[in-house]
């Protein structure tokens, strides 16, 4: 779908067996490519010029997330259901560059590439990932350092969302309470069924900032209305002449909530037409800028004007 001609829509046939798409990322490079991770154990690269899938990798298990590398347009990542992270290079299509087991076997539901930090050796790429236990940092290209859980995200509950701003290194992770079973084992169950709505409950947003190569500082937190089953998507809007804004969906009021960073003060609430909200994105490539949210069958746009 083109915003220039929004009524001209083309359906794109995905490879057989793709199943549900769990994540989709547009390349930050000027190559007009999109990356898709699916439950059908596939990672696919889509050309947005020809509207065809140009490359597909078979994975050992279902993919829950994907990301391009912000420092090198050739590299791609897939987060798997078993907690493993796979690294791919588009110039070498025969096999993955690396298959790395994470610190837990929980599904990796979000991956964010991090811009190179001067405190790390040259050539080292860094990723942030999120699973139910919290955030994890992965470093590639230097000494074979094991991925590690970010201590500042432990003991907040079940992590259900991760938003990261590469230019400022602001990070907001969203949590819901753990469900205590009768045998006193804390569990959280992800839903793979799109029709399961879940209910709203009180959780929290936690604001972090990356300081140095492997260190994080907790700057604050706020209450949040989250879903007791579904994962959420959120975003950080980096503005030139305004405080950065964190955008997330409110599961009880069915609104998009904009919060200023670092205070997490609510600055605006936008009513969404459909619920539940599946994803939220911001684009400054057009004038005025656009904030959009995706629901089950609707893509809603808001004109964003910030002084």
Beta bridge partners of 56: 44
Percent of the chain with pLDDT over 70: 90
**Is 217 a residue whose pLDDT tops 80?**
yes
**C-alpha–C-alpha distance, residues 184 and 12, integer Å:** 47
The rounded distance, in Å, linking the Cα atoms of 305 and 200 is 30
Average pLDDT over residues 234-263: 92
253 exposed, middle or buried (CB, 10 Å; 0-12, 13-18, 19+)?
A: middle
Candidates 2.70.70.10, 2.30.110.10, 3.30.565.10, 2.130.10.10; correct CATH number of 12-149? Answer: 2.130.10.10
Q: Say how far residue 87 (Cα) sits from the centre of its chain.
A: 17
CA distances to 38, 196, 205 from 224, rounded to whole Å, are 28, 20, 6
Interatomic CA distance for residues 251 and 160, integer angstroms = 13
DSSP string, 28-71: SSTT-EEEEEETTTEEEEEETTTTEEEEEEE-SS-EEEEEE-SS
CA torsion, points 46, 48, 52, 56, in degrees to nearest 10?
-10
> What's the half-sphere exposure (Cβ side, CA atoms, 13 Å) at 208?
25
Question: What tokens appear for 145 in the block?
Answer: 């350092």
Domain ranges of the chain: 12-149
In which order are the strands placed within the sheet that holds 170-176? Answer: 158-165, 170-176, 200-211, 215-227
Q: How confident is the model at residue 187 (pLDDT cuts 50, 70, 90)?
A: very low
Average pLDDT of the segment spanning 35-47: 96
> In the block, which residue shows the tokens 């420092």?
71
Residue 133 phi, psi (nearest 5): -85, -10
Residue range 104-131, pLDDT digits in tens? 999 999 999 998 766 666 677 889 999 9
In the predicted model, is pLDDT for residue 178 greater than 70? yes
281-294 average pLDDT score: 83
Q: Which pLDDT value is given to residue 186? A: 46
* pLDDT of residue 142 exceeding 70: no
pLDDT digits (tens, 9 = 90+) for 272-287: 888 888 999 988 777 7
Q: Are 276 and 197 in contact (CB under 8 A)?
A: yes
């Amino acid at each position: 779908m083109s915003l220039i001609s929004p009524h001209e829509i083309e359906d794109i046939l995905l490879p057989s067996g793709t199943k549900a798409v769990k994540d989709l990322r547009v390349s930050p490079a000027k190559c007009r490519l999109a990356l898709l991770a699916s439950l059908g154990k596939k990672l696919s690269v889509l050309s947005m010029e020809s509207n065809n899938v140009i490359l597909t990798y078979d994975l050992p298990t279902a993919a829950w997330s994907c990301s391009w590398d912000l420092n090198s347009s050739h590299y791609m990542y897939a987060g798997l259901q078993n907690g493993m992270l796979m690294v791919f290079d588009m110039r070498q299509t025969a096999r993955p560059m690396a298959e790395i087991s994470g610190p837990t076997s929980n599904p990796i539901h979000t991956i964010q590439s991090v811009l190179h930090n001067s405190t790390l050796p040259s050539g080292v790429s860094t990723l942030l990932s999120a699973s139910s236990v919290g955030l994890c940092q992965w470093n590639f290209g230097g000494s074979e350092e094991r991925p590690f859980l970010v201590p500042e995200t432990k003991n907040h509950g079940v992590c259900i969302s991760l938003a990261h701003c590469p230019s400022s290194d602001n990070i907001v992770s969203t949590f819901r309470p753990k469900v205590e079973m009768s045998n006193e084992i804390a569990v959280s169950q992800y839903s793979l069924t799109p029709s399961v709505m879940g209910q709203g409950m009180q959780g929290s947003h936690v604001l972090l900032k990356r300081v140095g190569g492997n260190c994080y500082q907790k700057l604050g937190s706020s209450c949040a209305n989250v879903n007791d089953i579904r994962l959420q998507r959120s975003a950080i809007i980096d503005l030139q002449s305004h405080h950065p804004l964190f955008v997330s969906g409110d599961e009880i009021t069915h609104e998009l909530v904009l919060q200023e960073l670092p205070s997490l003060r609510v600055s605006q609430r936008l009513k969404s037409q459909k619920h539940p909200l599946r994803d939220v994105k911001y684009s400054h490539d057009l004038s005025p800028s656009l904030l959009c949210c995706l629901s089950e069958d609707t893509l809603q746009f808001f004109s964003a004007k910030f002084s």
